[in-house]
Structure formats: structure tokens, C-alpha cells
């Protein structure tokens, strides 16, 4: 499964039909997309890191866009979802619970730095190698900052809400 960062927002258009066709050209199989924000479920023989690099390069060649891409296996995604540190928030307001999935593990101590910028009880927790962000008052009024670098370390990540995470889990058959 691949999660693309920052497409179909701010004028960066990448139609899902074109993305599915590109994935097929790359040799991926069982390709399906979910909504227009760059969620691709597929089967592949290559390692996740290799698929991510290949997708990023192919998207840049075809669409002239640099699109950070995070790839996880079905088993990894199942483990991520199972590690949810905010089960009550997932039940009560799944759109206000975000999973921040990075190309690498989040930098150490980033949770506290992010929480310090937030308000209204916003919480950030690390679980299963990603960050979970709970917005009890909703995402719109939040002031919480998502750093692209932290303590000098780059942190390339994309977010999905819990509802989308569960749909992707279902699509993966996990």
C-alpha cells in the first residue's frame, strides 16, 4: 500500500485513473485507489522502500511533480492500526484522529514539541513507528505544527484520518 503526500490539493492534480495506470506500468498488481488523496492498495514483489522510490521517480517523470511516497505492507498497516493509542477518539470522532506516517520513524521527542504548539487538549503519541494525533476540538481550529524538520532531522510524512486508515485496512484484506 502506498500513501502519497500532498496531491490533489493546492493545484497539484494527479487523477487516480492515471495513477492506477502508472502503477500497472510499474508491474504492480491488484491495484485499487481510495478517494482522491493518493491512497493506493496493490500487490508487489519488491520491498516497500524500493516500491516507494520507483513510484516517486515514475510520478516525477510522468507528472513533473515531486511526491513523497510512503509504502507499508498489509501486515505493517494492520500492526499500525492495532496500536492505536486513542481508541475512544477512534470510536467517537474518527475524522479528528490522524495517523502521521513517515518515510522513516518520527524523530525522538517530536511528540512533546508538537503538543507544545497545540491547544484544546490536542495530543500526539508515538505507536507502531508513527505519530497519532488527536484533535478533540476538531482539526480546523488547531494551531498544532507539523514540522518538516525536527532538531535538524528531516521528517517526511503524510497524514490520514482514522476512517481512511480503517478503509485501507479493509481494502488490504488484513
67 plus 87 within the same structural domain: no
pLDDT by residue (tens digit) across 90-108?
999 999 999 999 998 998 8
Task: Decide: residue 12, CB within 10 A, 0-12 exposed, 13-18 middle, 19+ buried.
Answer: middle
Q: What angle do CA 106, 63, 2 make, to 5 degrees?
A: 35
Note down the domain range covering 121.
Answer: 75-162
Separation of alpha carbons 155 and 23, rounded Å = 25
29 plus 44 within the same structural domain: yes
Q: Residue for cell digits 524500493? A: 50
Nearest alpha carbon to residue 63 among 22, 26, 33, 24: 22
92 plus 114 within the same structural domain: yes
Residue 166 Cα distances to 16, 23, 50, 55, 148, angstroms: 20, 22, 25, 23, 26
Average pLDDT taken over every residue of the chain: 93
* pLDDT tier for residue 87 given thresholds of 50, 70 and 90: very high
Mark 20-55 as b/e (b = at least 16 C-beta within 10 Å): bebbeebebeebebbeebbbbbbebeeebeebbebb
pLDDT by residue (tens digit) across 27-49?
999 999 999 989 999 999 999 99
66 plus 83 within the same structural domain: no
Separation of alpha carbons 13 and 31, rounded Å = 20
The set of cell numbers assigned to 38 is 493518493
Q: Indicate which CATH number applies to the domain containing 41.
A: 3.30.70.1280
118 plus 82 within the same structural domain: yes
Flag whether 170 is in a domain. Answer: no
Higher pLDDT among residues 32 and 156, named by residue = 32
Can you give the pLDDT at residue 162?
98
Question: Is residue 150 pLDDT above 70, yes or no?
Answer: no
Question: Is residue 148 pLDDT above 80, yes or no?
Answer: no
Q: Which of 47, 71, 95 is the last residue of a domain?
A: 71
Separation of alpha carbons 107 and 117, rounded Å = 17
Separation of alpha carbons 65 and 59, rounded Å = 6
Amino acid at each position: 500500500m502506498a500513501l502519497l503526500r500532498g496531491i490533489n490539493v493546492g493545484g497539484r492534480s494527479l487523477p487516480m485513473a492515471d495513477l492506477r495506470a502508472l502503477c500497472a506500468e510499474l508491474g504492480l498488481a491488484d491495484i485499487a485507489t481510495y478517494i482522491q488523496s493518493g491512497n493506493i492498495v496493490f500487490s508487489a514483489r519488491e520491498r516497500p522502500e524500493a516500491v516507494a522510490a520507483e513510484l516517486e521517480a515514475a510520478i516525477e517523470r510522468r507528472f513533473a511533480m515531486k511526491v513523497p511516497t510512503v509504502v507499508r505492507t498489509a501486515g505493517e498497516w494492520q500492526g499500525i492500526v492495532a496500536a492505536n493509542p486513542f481508541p475512544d477518539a477512534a470510536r467517537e470522532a474518527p475524522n479528528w484522529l490522524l495517523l502521521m506516517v513517515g518515510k522513516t520513524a518520527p524523530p525522538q521527542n517530536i511528540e512533546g514539541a508538537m503538543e507544545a504548539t497545540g491547544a484544546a487538549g490536542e495530543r500526539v503519541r508515538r505507536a507502531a513507528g508513527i505519530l497519532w494525533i488527536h484533535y478533540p476540538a476538531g482539526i480546523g481550529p488547531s494551531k498544532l505544527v507539523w514540522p518538516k524538520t525536527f532538531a535538524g532531522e528531516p521528517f517526511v510524512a503524510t497524514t490520514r484520518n482514522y476512517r481512511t486508515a480503517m478503509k485501507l485496512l479493509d481494502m488490504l484484506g488484513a
